[in-house]
Amino acid sequence: MKLKAGIYWGAGCGGCDVAVLDVHEKILVVAEKMDLLFWPIALDFKYKDVEAMDDGYLDIAMFNGGIRNSENEEIAKLLRKKSKTMVALGSCAHIGGLISMANFHTKETIMSRVYLESESTDNPDSVLPLEKWNGGKEELELPRFHQMVKTLDQVVDVDYYIPGCPPVPDQIVSALSQVWEGTLPEKGSVIGAGTRTLCDECPRIKEEKTITSFKRTVEIIPDSEKCLLEQGLLCLGPVTREGCGARCINSNVPCRGCYGPLEGVHDQGAKMLSALASVLEPKEEKEIDELIGQIADPLRTFYRFSAAASILRRKKV
């Protein structure tokens, strides 16, 4: 019997949906094993079609994107109800993703920046998004933009996580095959990824580390054989789960952390900070400050993908 599946795109760039398409000819294998009953980006189903399903009707729902507005949250809850297995697909659903850097701002500043202040905005009447509109025949209720981005498991119970921004297509297929082959691990596991951090997968030569300076990627052409961190580039590989095939590393670009931390690491950013601070050379406050002052935008470097899943979750208001 074919599995009944749904895919949904919450708050995000849509890259995860594209990654599903990027499995290329393997989509045929997927199509053979699964019936896609809901996939707004590709197929014309409506929310009401899902609402009409019996609870637990879908075998699997894959939710990509974070929870940014009331619509994301509503559909997440709906899909949870209608499916047996709920999978968070991609960094945003998994750990908040890039979009959760918005948690370092309030809703108000975001609105004002986007609709009033940005250089390309022309909004002389200061029109802002509304939640209700009755300009037409009947009153319309529009999604409410929430105060913060949440991960999928902060709103519903999640069974599995497929990490990545976006997840590597092959890993999506291999994770799905675990579903139809019935080889899924314990609930709550990360699938379609490795069990160690990226350094394990990274082909570069690693030595003992003592960091004396930080560089930005634009400043140097790194030696492609040596550990990037040892060359002063802030690579998040040590604190990021492997499984991507070291895509960035192989392009001579440091890891930015999209696959998230390993189990047992409570805060990806803080853990990286702790590890990194351990191997800095200076011992005097002044020299330490000089060195760490070279890190461009430390907050968003350490929490590029995981702000929503961090211990503090957002900027306190």
Partner 1 sequence: MAVRIGVYICHCGTNIAGKVDIAKVVEFAKGLENVSLVKDYKFMCSDPGQALLQKDVEDGLIDRVVVASCSPLMHENTFRKATERGGLNPYLFTMANIREQCSWVHIDSGQTTDKAKDLIAAAVRRAFLLEPLTKREVPINPRTVVIGGGIAGIQAALDLAEAGKKVVLVEREPSIGGHMSKFDKTFPTLDCSACILTPRMVSVGQHANIELMTYSEVEEVSGFVGNFNIRVRKKARYVDSELCNGCGACWEKCPGTRVPRKGNVHEKLSLGPTTPIYMPFMQAVPAIPVIDTETCLYFKDDKHACGLCAKECERGAIDYEMKDEIVEFEVGNIIIATGFQTFDPSVIKRYGYGEIENVMTALEFEIMNCASGSTGGKILKADGGVPGSIGIIHCVGSRDKHYHDYCSRVCCMYSLKYSHLIKEKTDAEVYEFYIDMRCFGKGYEEFYDRLLTEDVRFVRGKVAEVTDVPTCKAEEGKLIVKVEDTLIGNVRRIPLDMVILSTGLEGHATLREIAKKCSVSVGQDGFLIEKHPKLGPVSTATDGVFIAGACQSPKDIPDTVAQASAASSAVLSMITREKIEIESATAEVDEDKCSGCKLCNTLCPYLAVKFDEEKGVSVVNQALCKGCGTCVAGCPSGAISAKHFEDRQIFAEIEGIFSGL
Partner 2 sequence: MSFEPKIVGFLCNWCSYTGADLAGTARIKYSPNLRSIRVMCSGRIEPTFILKALYEGADGVLIAGCHPGDCHYQEGNYKALRRHRMLRMILPGFGIEPERVRLEWVAASEGERFATIVDEFTEEIRSLGPLKVRDSLEMVLSEDVILNLDTAMEEGGDANEA
Residues that bind partner 2 (CB under 8 A): 104-113, 117, 126, 128, 144-148, 266-267, 269-271, 273-274, 276-278, 280, 282-283, 285, 288-289, 292, 295, 297-300, 302-303, 310-317
Residue 209 interacts with partner 1 (CB under 8 A)? yes
- Minimum CB distance to partner 2, residue 259 (Å): 19
For residues 291 and 213, the answer to whether their CB atoms sit within 8 Å is yes
- Minimum CB distance to partner 1, residue 311 (Å): 10
Minimum CB distance to partner 1 smaller for 77 or for 206: 206
Burial class (CB in 10 A: 0-12, 13-18, 19+), 266: exposed
Q: How many residues sit close enough to partner 1 to count as binding (CB under 8 A)?
A: 27
Residue 195 interacts with partner 1 (CB under 8 A)? yes
For residues 201 and 180, the answer to whether their CB atoms sit within 8 Å is no
Minimum CB distance to partner 1 smaller for 80 or for 256: 256
Distance of CA 270 to the CA centre of its chain: 17
Q: For partner 1, which residue of 92, 239, 246, 255 counts as binding (CB under 8 A)?
A: 239
CA atoms within 13 A on the CB side of 59: 14
Tell me how many degrees the CA angle 68-198-211 measures, rounded to the nearest 5.
100
- Minimum CB distance to partner 2, residue 142 (Å): 13
Residue 190 interacts with partner 1 (CB under 8 A)? no
Give the DSSP letter of residue 12.
S
Minimum CB distance to partner 2 smaller for 67 or for 198: 67
Sign for the CA dihedral angle at 233, 239, 166, 194 comes to positive
How would you classify the pairing of strands 58-64 and 3-9? Answer: parallel
Tell me how many degrees the CA angle 151-154-156 measures, rounded to the nearest 5.
105
Minimum CB distance to partner 2 smaller for 14 or for 129: 129
Q: Binding residues for partner 1, per CB under 8 A?
A: 195-200, 206-210, 237-239, 242, 261-266, 271-272, 274-275, 278-279
